[in-house]
Chain A
Amino acid sequence: MKSRPSDYNIRMDMRLAAAVAAGKAVTWLSRRLGAGAGSNFPGKVILRLHADAPQAMASRLPGGCVLVSGTNGKTTTSNLLSGMLRAGGRLPVHNRVGANLITGITAALAQASDLRGAPRGDIGLFEVDEATLPAAVERLRPRLVIVTNLFRDQLDRYGELESLARRMDAALAGLNPGADVLLNADDPLVSSLGRDTRATVHYYGIEGARDTEKALRHAADSKHCRECGSPLAFDAHYFAHMGRYSCPGCGRSRPAPEFAASRVELRGTAGSRVTVVTPGWSADLFLGLPGLYNVHNLLAALGGAQLLGLGEEAVRGGVEGYSTAFGRGERIPIDGRTLFLVLSKNPTGFNEVIRTLRGEGEGLVVLAALNDRIADGRDVSWIWDVDFEELAPLPRRLVAAGTRAWDMALRMKYAGLDTSRLEVRGDLREALRAALAAAEEGETVYALTTYTATLELRRLLTRLGAAPGLWEEG
């Protein structure tokens, strides 16, 4: 039996349909004009026409919404989780390419919807900028929120970590009692979240890693207990401020993870072999993504999949069928050489990449592109927190590129790189040409690029015919 929709509902539906149609038209147009991927403009148009459009569309997803937030690893985690959901027979609606503000989520929903605003998919999977989490929770009423880690990335946008954490706590306090929260146990700030939530809190973390660091690096952020302010004591450091810690002041310690990696074997840029342990099962997985930080991304996705009711088979399928998140550790053949493209957008990310590069030997050709656009953070001071001293012995040629190419070059000089090995090419196209020319046939060029530089380089490669377009990947 069908109830008769009221005039009001019909009017609302028509408004939503009009907004969705306008959003689709704008998206189509901006792609035709070659405007950037993940552009926020279509979302802005939709919200202007219908302020409640995201919740109206999201409420039609039978499986609800999942939000993935945190400073690093949002895209990799949600791409891994998306693969697991697909392997488990679900159809996620997913905001790709880092469009992680409300506008980007709105555009993604509209893109996946029919003209009445009903999404063709059964679960929403959205990566959400840390500062957008409160608004996203309020609008989308998620059934699961995953928080990967918190770094003082882009403080010029967010203010301080502590106030960011407070706002995230307030967001989690707004969750429904039946919802789940999945937190990184190895990040002391993240694991302190969720104190006021009525949702169920779960943790993931690394239990066995041989490749730990002896001391906290200076780029570490969260070294003090959030409860009492005492310096935390660590018996193992994984990277940055991630590790096994406890507070000598108030006794707070790292929560025991429900989803854990009991053994990790890093294999350079090729990836890692990881033994995972969950409440239901354990398995050996090969993850084709380098570094310990990607083991965290794997655990976050795996925990999320379990909490959404998926089993071992779907998780395995998702990990094995995973093609790297756009730009994050991608190998692209060009001119008889291989371009290894890695997003490196903050000290922690950069330090991890440098650690991985050290396994590749010396005499490398490196392209380092530093942009200072709004999405990168206008302030590039953070490059002085990166351990470029460990990178300096590796390149036989380093091409500094991007809007802040000179800052990058100067940082490398002060890190100890001989200036005869250094070349400055602000323009990315020229920089790419110089780096390829410096490499031998069959050699790899390592491109370390900040967020917008990654987008730019990827577009350039598409134009040169070296990489498939962003729109063809799924």
Chain B
Amino acid sequence: MKLGLPELRICHLYPELMNIYGDRGNVIALVWRCRRRGWEARVTRLSLGEPIDPSRHDLFFIGGGQDREQMMVCEDLAGEKGEALRAAVEDGAALLSICGGYQLLGKRFLTCTGENLPGVSLFDAETVGGDTRFIGNVAVDCRLEGAESTLVGFENHSGRTRLGPGCRPLGRVIRGYGNNGEDGGEGCVYRHAIGTYLHGSLLPKNPRLADWLILRALRRRYQLEALPPLDDALEDAAHRAALDMVLREGKRPRLSPRRRLPSPR
């Protein structure tokens, strides 16, 4: 265990390729919430061809990307690099992956054009591309131990993700589609690694989840019971406003394969 003020070492994976819907806001929130506590947070940006050293980072982040970018990242993560990411999580590192990043950390992603992208197999999950997109505001009842709360965000994905027994969902959908629009699950959790479809950005409006990740990430190297609280009045107000809004929108139609959403393409 280290002494002195904690320092959070964040590894932002593929920041320029996987940041389709403002996902960098999650990194901004993590850094900000450390600095407000008087702690340092350092962000290392790693992209194509740059190896991961599992012991040099406490928290990994990967956002969503478009098809082409996702393909490039999939290739890059195959082999040693994906292995290193798995090793870090097995060793207790925290990880947050959003949308396309989440899909790539499963076992495989079968795109709607029939391509089979092998995943990192960090999550016991499989994604199949659908012909309609799940788009809209989402509210989730989060069951994560130590971060029980609602989550609010925005989803925009055509992939349908199904979880195996090796991981559990992050929460149950209150409004929105979630992992696949059918089983009511949203996201997945394995050890301190989280995958989710929620953009928004996710962490600023869901500060409890942000602190859950920070605490788990730091506990690997520092003796910490809990994080010192911050003044989250604005965060909570923004969370409530988003939650009220999505609840007012009402239930979305259930999507069967025959009934289509008005699709953007």
A interface, CB within 8 angstroms of B: 131, 152, 155-163, 218, 223-224, 229, 378-385, 403, 405-407, 409-411, 413-414, 419, 422, 424
Contact = CB atoms under 8 A, between A and B. Distances in A.
B200 interface: yes
B234 A385 contact: no
26 contacts: A155-B21, A157-B264, A158-B264, A159-B264, A159-B265, A162-B68, A223-B16, A229-B68, A379-B156, A379-B199, A380-B154, A381-B200, A383-B22, A384-B25, A385-B22, A405-B241, A406-B238, A406-B241, A407-B205, A409-B234, A409-B238, A410-B205, A410-B235, A410-B238, A411-B204, A414-B25
B32 A414 contact: yes
Given A379-B154, A381-B25, A385-B24, 16 more contacts: A158-B265, A159-B264, A159-B265, A161-B66, A162-B66, A162-B67, A378-B137, A381-B23, A384-B23, A384-B204, A403-B245, A406-B242, A407-B238, A407-B241, A410-B205, A410-B234
Contact of B135 (A156, A380, A405, A419): A156
Interface of B: 15-16, 19-25, 28-29, 32, 66-68, 72, 133, 135-137, 154, 156, 199-201, 204-205, 234-235, 237-238, 241-242, 245, 264-265
A224 B68 contact: yes
Contacts of B19: 218, 385
A36 B24 CA distance: 35
Nearest to A161: B66
Contacts of B235: 410
Contacts of B25: 381, 383-384, 411, 414
Interface centre among A157, A159, A406 (most CB of B within 10 A): A406
A224 B200 CA distance: 26
A341 B29 CA distance: 30
Given A379-B156, A384-B25, A410 B199 contact: no
A381 B21 contact: yes
B237 A406 contact: yes
A381 B205 contact: no
Contacts of A223: 16
A407 B24 contact: no
A419 B199 CA distance: 24
A153 B29 CA distance: 23
Q: Lowest 8 CB-CB distances: which A-B pairs, in order?
A: A384-B25, A384-B22, A159-B265, A381-B22, A406-B238, A381-B21, A406-B241, A381-B199
